[in-house]
Structure 1
Amino acid sequence: MEIFGYLERYDYEQLVFCQDQESGLKAIIAIHDTTLGPALGGTRMWTYDSEEAAIEDALRLARGMTYKNAAAGLNLGGGKTVIIGNPQTDKSEALFRAFGRYIQGLNGRYITAEDVGTTVADMDIIHEETDYVTGISPAFGSSGNPSPVTAYGVYRGMKAAAKAAFGTDLLEGKVIAVQGVGNVAYNLCRYLHEEKANLIVTDINIEAVKKTVSEFGAKAVEPNEIYGVDCDIFSPCALGAVINDETIPKLKAMVIAGAANNQLKDTKHGQVIHEMGIMYAPDYVINAGGVINVADELYGYNRERAMKKVEQIYDNVQKVFEIAKRDSIPTYLAADRMAEERIEKLRHSRSQFLQNNRHILSRR
């Protein structure tokens, strides 16, 4: 892998390799862009097939966080960490404290949080060495379980997508097919049920499905049936890459709006559903409630303030549709454009500020 070539291609700022022989720490911190503020992104622990695969994952995820944070209206850039190791067997206090010292050494350029393979307890250990960590235990002043907040953001974004498709954001009477009923989707179903939507659900976890059927009057279908059900809105809330060559011909929904990450298997699928007239709420815009919530911890967590920010996901999704219409492009591209325009606007204003300061100093 030509690392500097990759960094130049997508304009990354920094790649940090962290090694501690005593604890076995092997971590990679990728910082993509700090135009809007310090880079915020979680720490993933995974058994990668190779060091190159770990580097590529860190870089890809960091760039994704730049777009997610920018689209959410946060004054934060994008970064990510991957720790090479088995999250079931390789964790230790020494490992996470060593990692925390590396974060502290970046002096605030990067702020971490939990991700795949890491937990609140792990973040608490990192917090022993640095304040540049979010998603710690509520006892330390954090926001706690982010799932209900993420769900509320998806709910707000779904209403905005419904308005674009149906002319109203009222979900009463709408048939909504929810794929996956884990922590986020369960809370999403609660919001939808309270608005008197009709739910169709599926999950490989039978008990989770039974709970949703019992509490919200949902209809259950087999996992492979969810794509083809008669519905107004399809809400993918489980695995990624579910919008693909095999599933698209089955879809009957006019809206796709869900919590899952990386819903499009390939960018071409965003073009296909666009040409079909399906309103797609891009995943990293609609599911940003979690990162908005933990970002509020940086100011001393205030739930009311955080929830007001999460409510703005409605406006963010609306803006994506406006840009898509303005530029005659699919919404997945419009989301990228919205994030890029915000970054460029701030980059320009900062460069103007620096130029003005240099001009003033040169006159002294």
Structure 2
Amino acid sequence: MSVTLTDLTAPEGYERLVLAEAPRHGLRALICLHSTVLGPAAGGCRMWAYDNDDQAIHDVTRLARGMTHKNAMADLGLGGGKAVIFGDARTDKTPDMMRAFGEAVETLAGTYWTAEDVGISPADMAFAAERTRFAVGLSGASGDPSPWTAEGVFRCLRVGSGHVFGTEDLTGRRVLVQGLGHVGLSLAEKLAKAGARLIVTDIHAAALKDAMTRLGAVVCAPDAVFDQQIEIFAPCALGGILTERTVGELSASLVCGAANNQLADDALALRLEAAGITYLPDYVVNAGGIISVASEIHGKPDAWRLERLTAIAARVSQMLTTAREAGQAPAAIADEMVRTMLSGRRAA
């Protein structure tokens, strides 16, 4: 199996952007290393049917940068990276494609560790692991990181609720979960158990039917999300959902979800704050999955994972308190915390 790696011009501030190709096995992928200042770059592999190369490059670079921030805030001793595979995960993915992807990762010699993301399962990652030492999130090891991501988001959502509404009790609270993939569904289950009035949306009818039947959720159409009267918005699908227009239509007082890069533009964090909406930065609250993966990379036990999962919620509480005292958006405080961590390590 032969994989060709071609270095592309990385954006300013990024370390490396690589195109990996194995035409015989249908592989065309991008691997982006944003930063290895705090350790080897780590971040999941996503498979998506991108419209064009520019769209894929935009996605993988933003995701890699987000992983740098996420891994720094979770204190994992890892830098930030990401991979995307071109194609429809439901129809195009094959074991040989994933093996070829594993070869590409191995060629990077430990500067990038990969794991599951959208469109990629632990079983897929097992095929990649046949060709690389640097694939994690495997069954029998740390396993599917999705439940850990959902648990971290749920804990942070409760902290945010206490900050915004004066109580972490979610009984009767109107919460909309957008996206019922592995993470979104797990989060919806936790919210339902906590007594929230659950509204859900997804592009797959089977997922919606399941949520209605098991969780008593109310369903709304994907294009009607911002028409709903809600108190908490939990984006758990793809990024870029919060735009200048949708922020103006959003009725929620708190945004806390698992999706990466929820803001179409970073400046929208200030727009949300000005509108009286508390936005918990996604790279802080959705770190549970990478914490699980990092335990496999570092060879740490479950106690290590739980300790860092608990620390996420504590960090959100600290971030919200500092933001309130400084009169700044929580996202600005989080970004400054990351800059301090990275500059300190560079100086050292």
Aligned position for 2:4: none
Compute the displacement of 1:203 (Å): 3.2
Q: Which moved more, 1:144-153 or 1:44-53?
A: 44-53
Aligned position for 2:71: 69
Compute the displacement of 1:108 (Å): 1.8
Which residue identity is paired with 1:240?
Answer: G
Which residue identity is paired with 2:126?
Answer: D
CA distance in 1, matches of 2:209, 2:183: 16
For residues 134-145 of structure 1, the aligned pairs below 5 Å read 134-136=136-138, 138=139, 141-145=140-144
> Contact 1:39/1:78 (CA < 8 Å) preserved in 2?
yes
For residues 235-246 of structure 1, the aligned pairs below 5 Å read 235-246=234-245
2:209 pairs with 1:210 = yes
> Contact 1:142/1:294 (CA < 8 Å) preserved in 2?
no
> Contact 1:154/1:286 (CA < 8 Å) preserved in 2?
yes
Aligned position for 1:108: 110
2:128 pairs with 1:126 = yes
CA distance in 2, matches of 1:222, 1:54: 27
Compute the displacement of 1:71 (Å): 1.9
Per the alignment, do residues 133 and 248 of structure 1 end up closer, same or farther by CA in structure 2, a change over 3 Å counting?
same
Which residue identity is paired with 2:186?
Answer: N
Residues matched between the structures, number: 342
Compute the displacement of 1:111 (Å): 0.7
TM-score, structure 2 as length reference: 0.84
Per the alignment, do residues 298 and 170 of structure 1 end up closer, same or farther by CA in structure 2, a change over 3 Å counting?
same
Aligned position for 1:253: 252
Q: Secondary structure at the match of 1:243?
A: coil
CA distance in 1, matches of 2:163, 2:98: 45
Q: Structure 2: which 5+ runs fail to align? A: 1-6
1:216-275 Cα deviation digits (max 9, x unpaired): 333334444443433322222234333223333333322111222222222343222110
Aligned position for 1:81: 83
Q: Secondary structure at the match of 2:208?
A: helix
CA distance in 2, matches of 1:56, 1:182: 23
> Contact 1:149/1:307 (CA < 8 Å) preserved in 2?
no
Aligned position for 2:269: 270
Q: Secondary structure at the match of 2:262?
A: coil
Please say which structure displays the higher CA radius of gyration: 1
Compute the displacement of 1:295 (Å): 1.5
Per the alignment, do residues 93 and 238 of structure 1 end up closer, same or farther by CA in structure 2, a change over 3 Å counting?
closer
Per the alignment, do residues 242 and 25 of structure 1 end up closer, same or farther by CA in structure 2, a change over 3 Å counting?
closer
Q: Secondary structure at the match of 1:246?
A: helix
Q: Secondary structure at the match of 1:177?
A: strand
For residues 259-338 of structure 1, the aligned pairs below 5 Å read 259-300=258-299, 302-325=301-324, 327-338=326-337
Per the alignment, do residues 206 and 15 of structure 1 end up closer, same or farther by CA in structure 2, a change over 3 Å counting?
closer
CA distance in 2, matches of 1:340, 1:170: 34
2:36 pairs with 1:34 = yes
Compute the displacement of 1:47 (Å): 5.2
CA distance in 1, matches of 2:157, 2:256: 6
> Contact 1:323/1:338 (CA < 8 Å) preserved in 2?
no
Per the alignment, do residues 250 and 303 of structure 1 end up closer, same or farther by CA in structure 2, a change over 3 Å counting?
same
Compute the displacement of 1:343 (Å): 1.9
Per the alignment, do residues 316 and 24 of structure 1 end up closer, same or farther by CA in structure 2, a change over 3 Å counting?
same
Per the alignment, do residues 344 and 197 of structure 1 end up closer, same or farther by CA in structure 2, a change over 3 Å counting?
same
1:125-176 Cα deviation digits (max 9, x unpaired): 221222211122x2xx323233222111111110111122123322233222
CA distance in 2, matches of 1:330, 1:312: 21
CA distance in 2, matches of 1:277, 1:165: 10
> Contact 2:8/2:18 (CA < 8 Å) preserved in 1?
no
Q: Secondary structure at the match of 1:81?
A: strand
Q: Secondary structure at the match of 2:245?
A: coil
Compute the displacement of 1:192 (Å): 2.0
Q: Secondary structure at the match of 1:186?
A: helix
CA distance in 2, matches of 1:203, 1:86: 17
CA RMSD of aligned residues (A): 2.9
CA distance in 2, matches of 1:243, 1:111: 29
Q: Which moved more, 1:17-26 or 1:263-272?
A: 17-26
Q: Secondary structure at the match of 2:321?
A: helix
1:256-311 Cα deviation digits (max 9, x unpaired): 11222222222343222110111111112112211111221123463443233223
CA distance in 2, matches of 1:183, 1:83: 19
CA distance in 2, matches of 1:142, 1:72: 20
Which residue identity is paired with 2:65?
Answer: R
